[in-house]
A and B are shown apart, each in its own frame.
Chain A
Amino acid sequence: MKPEVILETRKLTMRFGGLTAVDDFNAKIYKGSIVGLIGPNGAGKTTCFNMISGFYAPSDGRVLFKGADITGTPPHEVCRAGVARTFQNIRLFGNGTVLQNVMVGCHVRQKTSWWQTVLYLPSNLKEEKAIAEKSRGLLKVFGLEHLAGEKAKSLPYGAQRRLEIARALATEPQFLLLDEPAAGMNPQETNELMGFIRDIREQFKLTILLIEHDMKVVMGVCEHMWVLDYGETIAEGPPESIKANPKVIEAYLGEEAIADA
């Protein structure tokens, strides 16, 4: 049986004025896989993410999620459809508590509305309680439960990264976009994170697309990857073939490196 394609991009292109940030990006991502999008700084990886998650409307091309066209739909609807994301520069709700941050993530699946809160309806009280419980459960998975009452902005860096992923998972996604989850981490933390990403894939039945510009860290965790340079896809394939690809080496290390080798 052929695995199901969960997300597909066709000829995805983004132009900012005269600059083409991403040109003709084609990808088929299979359900349950962990795949990577790599490339040097400014290669257009985050632009790709922004197009998939609805923050940018692509200049050209399509994004298909589970067969449905989601090109140009606003971010909140993309999230409702089942695509969650994190940000390269951590974006938490800094003045809220850790628990509140995760609860906000649960909101997209909440059925009762604000006026039911005001009327003190039992259905709403029950759901709010269930959301708090679910959020605590998620914090436990991420080892943050003891920090539930702390302000999000007071957390150490690593915990903030984990909280951002926990919050994304609270929206009950099927597809998770991680924008440089290992940025600012030391090699050991990065290793732990990669193991952790594999764990949550199993536990939450996710498909994960992650961005990294550090090639070493993604080699271990990704099953398939795309390499971008100046907006163009210069290589695609499993880690082994990427490692050996001269174009990739050139993009990362410069031409001299190839000559030396």
Chain B
Amino acid sequence: MMERKLKIISNIMATAVLAMFLWWAQTNLGAYHTQILNLIAVNIILALSLNLIYGFTGMFSLGHAGFMAIGAYTCSILIMTPAQKEMLFILQKAYPWVQEAGAPFVVAVVAGGLIAALVGLVVGAPLLRLGDDYLGIATLGFAEIIRVLANNIPRITNGALGFKGIPGYANIWWNFGWCLFALYFIVRIVNSNFGNTLMAIRDDEPAAKAMGINIFRYKLLSFTIGSFFAGIGGALLASLVSTIDPKMFLFTLTFNVLMIVVCGGLGSLTGSVLASIAITILLEWLRFVENPIFIGDFELKGIPGMRMVVFSLALLFIILFRREGLMGMREFRWEWLLGLFRKRGEVK
């Protein structure tokens, strides 16, 4: 066992190193690479929140895109200026309260998270009585309902046109700040006895009941916290990409997050973080397969969407040969890193 103080110091130092890296990145990296870094931060938030719901509490939820949409729309409405909204809502005028609503970026992001959490609480109450696959189908339906709603309440969401020119407040500092907050929040939960009870519910519900755990309440709590961070992730994403419309929140968005969580390892936060970084970078890097490739004089025409094929194949291999994902259920520990150094020291 390592002392708590040493752990805290290590964590602060790691944060400082990250901050220095971000500071360096901000000045030395171009817009394209910075955007990838930003996407990594958002993906980490999303993956952590889904892992809490699916990996740690064992609730197979496919509703992430829905919660992200709620966060994204809430935040966008709050940070766009009234003049901007006047220009955007060309089909039908926005409701006065949508038109007038405005808040600083922090408040807007928190509001996005809170409304997503509230919706999570309301839909979770009936849905979480379902088990396994049925819950997956029901939450998938929920996400679709949210998307269809966004299409059909033009006075709030501007219908199929969506929003354009959302202010890009979500810079590298905001994104990584929220990312660290989510990481801290979820790590604290998972490592506490509350986290143990969530694990208990995942592993054996009847036994958890017999241990005096009100499983419905705890499932709902975990689901709501997960929805909150999904909302936060959606809010940041909206400001990051500056354009949102209902089509963005298709099932594929949930699938992307699910892929990260499964590749990283269900029940491993470290895995989620590493997989978020790796997959976000790979998705960008793999773009080269879509460009024309020259082999000598022979030219292979690039096929758009080819990288998704490559990615699907990669995922297939992961499921076939390493089903538990990158990390299984293991987590990064400082002791572990220290042990590595110690061993090396002994060899010398």
Contact = CB atoms under 8 A, between A and B. Distances in A.
B212 A108 contact: yes
A171 interface: yes
Interface string B207-222: 1111111110000010
Contacts of B203: 92-96
B33 interface: no
Q: Of A85, A91, A110, A131, which is in contact with the most chain B CB atoms at under 10 Å from its CB?
A: A91
Contact of B209 (A75, A103, A106): A75
A79 B194 contact: no
Interface string A102-125: 011111101001100110100010
Contact of A131 (B193, B221, B267): B193
Interface residues of B, number: 26
A76 interface: yes
B197 interface: yes
Contacts of B206: 55, 75, 87, 91
Contacts of B193: 103-104, 106-107, 110, 128, 131
B200 interface: yes
B317 interface: no
Contacts of A118: 185, 188-189
Interface in B212-268: 212-215, 221, 267
A114 B212 contact: no
Assign chain A's interface to a size class.
35 or more
A100 B211 contact: no
A15 interface: no
A74 B209 CA distance: 8
B223 to A, nearest CB: 13
B188 A120 contact: yes
Q: Of B188, B202, B210, which is in contact with the most chain A CB atoms at under 10 Å from its CB?
A: B210
A98 to B, nearest CB: 12
Interface in B263-294: 267
Contacts of A79: 209-212
A171 B189 contact: no
Contact of A95 (B207, B211, B329): B329
A52 to B, nearest CB: 11
Contact of A93 (B199, B214, B221): B199
Contacts of B197: 104, 107
Contact of B199 (A55, A80, A100, A117): A100
A168 B203 CA distance: 16
Contacts of A95: 199, 202-203, 267, 329
Contacts of A106: 193
B208 A104 contact: yes
A52 B212 CA distance: 14
Contacts of A110: 193
A93 B207 contact: yes
Nearest to A106: B193
A228 interface: no
Given A53-B210, A76-B214, A107 B188 contact: no
Interface in A114-142: 114, 117-118, 120, 124, 128, 131
Interface string A68-92: 0000001111011000110100011
A108 B215 CA distance: 12
A83 to B, nearest CB: 9
A120 B184 CA distance: 11
A94 B267 CA distance: 13
Interface in B170-198: 185, 188-189, 192-194, 196-197
Contact of B196 (A55, A74, A84, A104): A104
Nearest to B190: A117
A45 interface: no
A106 B197 CA distance: 10
A257 to B, nearest CB: 37
B196 A96 contact: yes
Contacts of A100: 196, 199
A167 interface: yes
B204 interface: yes
Contacts of B192: 114, 117, 124, 128
A214 B131 CA distance: 36
A167 B329 CA distance: 22
Contacts of B185: 118
A87 B194 contact: no
A75 B200 contact: no
A124 B211 CA distance: 20
Nearest to B217: A76
A94 B204 contact: yes
Contacts of A167: 211
B339 to A, nearest CB: 14
B210 A84 contact: yes
A46 to B, nearest CB: 12
Q: Of B206, B211, B213, which is in contact with the most chain A CB atoms at under 10 Å from its CB?
A: B211
A240 B266 CA distance: 55
Q: Of A92, A93, A96, A167, which is in contact with the most chain B CB atoms at under 10 Å from its CB?
A: A93
A179 to B, nearest CB: 10
Contacts of B221: 114
A85 B214 CA distance: 16
Q: Rank and list the top 4 A-B pairs by shortest CB-CB distance, nearest first.
A: A108-B212, A79-B212, A91-B207, A93-B203
16 contacts: A55-B210, A79-B210, A84-B210, A93-B199, A93-B207, A95-B267, A100-B199, A101-B200, A103-B193, A104-B193, A104-B213, A107-B213, A113-B194, A114-B194, A117-B188, A168-B210
